[in-house]
Amino acid sequence: MINILFAAKPANWVSYEAPLRRALDDTGLAYNLCRETTAPASIDYLVYAPTGPVNDFTPFTNAKAVLGLWAGVEGITGNETLTVPLTRMVDEGLTEGMVEWVGGHTLRHHLGIDRHILGQDGEWRDYVPPLARDRTVAVLGLGELGRACATALSALNFNVLGWSRREKSIKGVTCHFGDDGLEQILSQAEIVITLLPLTAGTENLLNAQRLSKMPRGACIINPGRGPLIDDDALLKALDTGQISHATLDVFRVEPLPKDHPYWAHPQVTVTPHIASETRPASSSRVIAENIRRSVSGEPLLHLVDRKAGY
Ligand code: NAP
């Protein structure tokens, strides 16, 4: 019997219990799925969310793996009580949702949709946006989400630049890597989308110096993590017009405090960390598949490289 602890918020249990049981049933394994346990040493696998009840993994002495429900793992990579393999969530539903959110917000800025939504005042605005082929957009981070967004934007005909830590080749995307690559990208991109994980190497990546290198009037779309951007530097760049708009889904403190200047800033759109979400049906299949793999001695999918931090 395999013992699985669902270590996430009670609200998650409500949406996950049935799909997770279905996905586990499909593996044919004999399992016991519980929400809490008085015998942590009996637990084989933890299905884990950072907002759930487990922070100390020490009592789970027989755990084989911790299977994360979130794509972002910055809250757990530094946890020294975790000594077994950690996987993060790569879920087709999460990816699809991110492509839709990024696509929508990119098109908003590209087409200048606000001119008309906010301009229902009798003035005949005859602005014609350039074609996507003449608009350069950059996607920083070319992992599961960044790659899918870059590919979708390329399919819409945007001139897409991409940036990652290691060298990459993606059809329809001009890929750069390393510090030099970032400078080159930022100097060209009129819309920059940040889909990087939060690590020591990415914190405050968009700082005053880098924001100043971008074409005047560029837009930023950040569904990655709040600390990727130096907030004070961004607010200054917005005030001077260096950056014309920032659409921000993630923040250093969430929920974003009511008195934060982003809320009232006319050139900022705040969305409440809803760019995309792990979907219970598809992500349950990912969790079940990893348990099946672990039981049969196959390599786990989506292992976190704890040294790299993602
Ligand atoms: P991923 O597959 O791990 O990809 C991360 C990408 O970032 C990789 O391309 C990686 O480069 C690149 N990268 C990491 N450190 C870098 C550095 N120092 N310099 C340059 N590139 C670097 O992650 P993912 O699944 O695409 O998710 C990305 C992030 O999105 C998550 O970490 C999370 O923070 C965020 N997210 C947000 C939401 C939301 O609703 N707002 C939802 C899900 C996820 P390599 O390819 O060279 O390794």
Ligand 1 binding site (Cβ under 6 Å of any ligand atom)? 71-72, 94, 141-146, 163-166, 195-199, 201-202, 223-225, 249-250, 273, 275-276, 310
* DSSP H or E run through 246: strand 243-248
* Cα–Cα dist 7/85, whole Å: 16
* Cα–Cα dist 11/254, whole Å: 18
Sole residue written with tokens 């049935």: 18
Which pLDDT value is given to residue 128?
Answer: 94
Which pLDDT value is given to residue 99?
Answer: 98
Pull the structure tokens for residue 91: 């879920």
Contact call for residues 110 and 191 (beta carbons, < 8 A): yes
pTM beyond 0.75: the answer is yes
Q: pLDDT tens, 113-152?
A: 999 999 999 999 889 999 999 999 999 999 999 999 999 9
Which pLDDT value is given to residue 204?
Answer: 98
- Answer whether the bond into residue 255 is a cis peptide, omega within 30°: yes
Ligand 1: residue whose CA is nearest its atom 41: 223
* Cα–Cα dist 268/219, whole Å: 10
Residue segments in the chain with a per-residue pLDDT below the cut of 50: none
Please name each of the domains of the chain with its CATH number. 2-91+278-296 (3.40.50.720), 93-270 (3.40.50.720)
Q: Known catalytic residue: 245?
A: no
Contact call for residues 247 and 221 (beta carbons, < 8 A): yes
Taking the centre of ligand 1 as the mean of its atom positions, its distance from the CA of residue 3, in whole angstroms, is 31
Q: Known catalytic residue: 273?
A: yes
Which pLDDT value is given to residue 80?
Answer: 96
Q: pLDDT tens, 269-309?
A: 999 999 999 999 999 999 999 999 999 999 999 999 999 99
Which pLDDT value is given to residue 165?
Answer: 96
